[in-house]
Amino acid sequence: MISRFFERVAGQVAIATGRPSAFMLSVAIILVWAVTGPLFHFSDTWQLAINTGTTIVTFLMVFLIQNAQNRDASAIQAKLDEMIRAATDARNEFIGIEHLSEADLVALISTLEMLCGSEMAHRRAIERLIARRR
């Protein structure tokens, strides 16, 4: 239950904080803080207010951003797995490779690159593609 609540709140906060109005609100808060500096004689308390506020917001946003990225990555992975499963020439063994260790993934990438040809050949093909689009 708490997991579902967190996901719902995280999704709503991610949408709200990704809007231009959220950025403008943040800028307005910083401007109000800066303008009030002379009023509070640039005191330690005045500085502590913005430092504490930004630290708390940053700390909480880390968890919300990580949740959103985890959900996005899982959704993309599921879509890619379905594309592999549905493609007739694709190797189903690639489904779930995101669970391999870093060393195994590096070895797999190296093997695939060797099978697909040299890096220089790929670079020339990409350069030709870009030249055709100009």
Q: Where are the domains of the chain?
A: 2-95, 100-134
pTM of the model as a whole: 0.63
Which of 43, 38, 60, 86 has the alpha carbon at shortest distance from 95?
A: 86
Distance CA 110, CA 96 (A): 18
pLDDT of residue 85: 87
Q: Which two tokens stand for residue 120?
A: 């220089």
pLDDT of residue 124: 84
What confidence tens digit (pLDDT) does each residue in 22-80 have? 999 999 999 999 999 999 999 999 999 999 999 999 999 998 888 888 888 889 999 98
What confidence tens digit (pLDDT) does each residue in 77-125 have? 999 888 888 888 888 888 888 888 999 988 988 888 788 777 777 788 8
